[in-house]
Amino acid sequence: MPQKESEIARLIDHTLLKPEASREDIQRLCEEAIDYGFASVCVNPWNVSQAAELVRGTEVRVCAVVGFPLGATLPIVKEFEAGEALKAGAQEIDMVINIGALKSGQEALAEADIRGVADASHRAGALCKVILETAVLTREEKVRGSLLAKKAGADFVKTSTGFGPGGATAEDVRLIRETIGSGTGIKAAGGVRTLEDLRKMVEAGATRIGTSSGVKIIEQLRGANPAGSADSSGATGKY
């Protein structure tokens, strides 16, 4: 578990995915990400171009969600959406797996769905993370989904959208790590709101954290009063 503030900050994707997010909200998100040294800002495709301009020249990356939050759009649409987000300045893509295909045992379809986005991401020099939405999956489905993501070329397996019935758990992160081994990243997202939550996820095997509470977490690390710190207004309600 990293101990330095800079190392912990670099684990965090500072997240704002509320549909009503304004340009002012995105500006604040990006300013916070720069000030605190977060790994990325994670936004909807509509907000990518603004975020890319705001973080230009810094180490903060822009992460865009694709097929979000249901994962039920057509594979060609996901690939197109990823491509447009990448052209607008995204450097990381968080796509939602075709959950229905996974649960129906249509593994070839689910794998091809991922591969289209992963290949588009890699052609642009970007990372691809695959969201499983673990709260709606059985243990066996979590294993199959993780293996499909790895096989299709994903750089990370991600637990949750933050819009589903549940978020990340240490148990799910541990299961994913046991399934995919050490060569693929894991992003824990959904309900990670405190420094203790972050530590539990990292100890279980997470290498990236998706949260709208990044400011609060770093202020907790500094020993400040969490209630008095400036938490991002970008909370989805579940992230």
Q: What is the tens place of the pLDDT at every residue in 221-235?
A: 999 444 444 444 333
**DSSP tag of 227:** G
Domain borders along the chain are 5-228
| Predicted model pTM | 0.93
Distance, CA of 42 to CA of 211 (rounded, Å): 9
Q: Which residues contact 94 (CB under 8 A, 6 or more apart)?
A: 42, 63, 64, 65, 66, 68, 129, 131, 158, 187, 210
Q: Which residues contact 36 (CB under 8 A, 6 or more apart)?
A: 9, 12, 14, 214, 215, 218
Distance, CA of 188 to CA of 157 (rounded, Å): 9
**The predicted structure's pLDDT at residue 157:** 98
Per-residue pLDDT in tens (0 to 9) along the chain, 239 residues: 777 999 999 999 999 999 999 999 999 999 999 999 999 999 999 999 999 999 999 999 999 999 999 999 999 999 999 999 999 999 999 999 999 999 999 999 999 999 999 999 999 999 999 999 999 999 999 999 999 999 999 999 999 999 999 999 999 999 999 999 999 999 999 999 999 999 999 999 999 999 999 999 999 999 944 444 444 433 333 45
What are the residue numbers of the active site?
94, 158, 187
**DSSP tag of 47:** G
Helix axes of 75-87 and 107-123: crossing angle, nearest 10 degrees: 20
The tokens for 102 are 């996974």
**The predicted structure's pLDDT at residue 236:** 39
Residue in the structure block whose two tokens are 């995919």: 180
Backbone angles phi, psi at 128, to 5 degrees: -125, 125
Q: Is 38:75 a contact under the CB 8 Å cutoff?
A: no
**DSSP tag of 78:** H
The tokens for 44 are 């909807």
10 Å Cβ neighbour count for 225? 8
Distance, CA of 177 to CA of 80 (rounded, Å): 30
The tokens for 76 are 């060609």
Q: Which CATH number fits domain 5-228: 3.20.20.70, 3.40.50.300, 3.40.50.2300, 3.30.2320.80?
A: 3.20.20.70
Q: What is the tens place of the pLDDT at every residue in 162-216?
A: 999 999 999 999 999 999 999 999 999 999 999 999 999 999 999 999 999 999 9
Q: Which residues contact 217 (CB under 8 A, 6 or more apart)?
A: 8, 12, 193, 194, 195, 198, 211
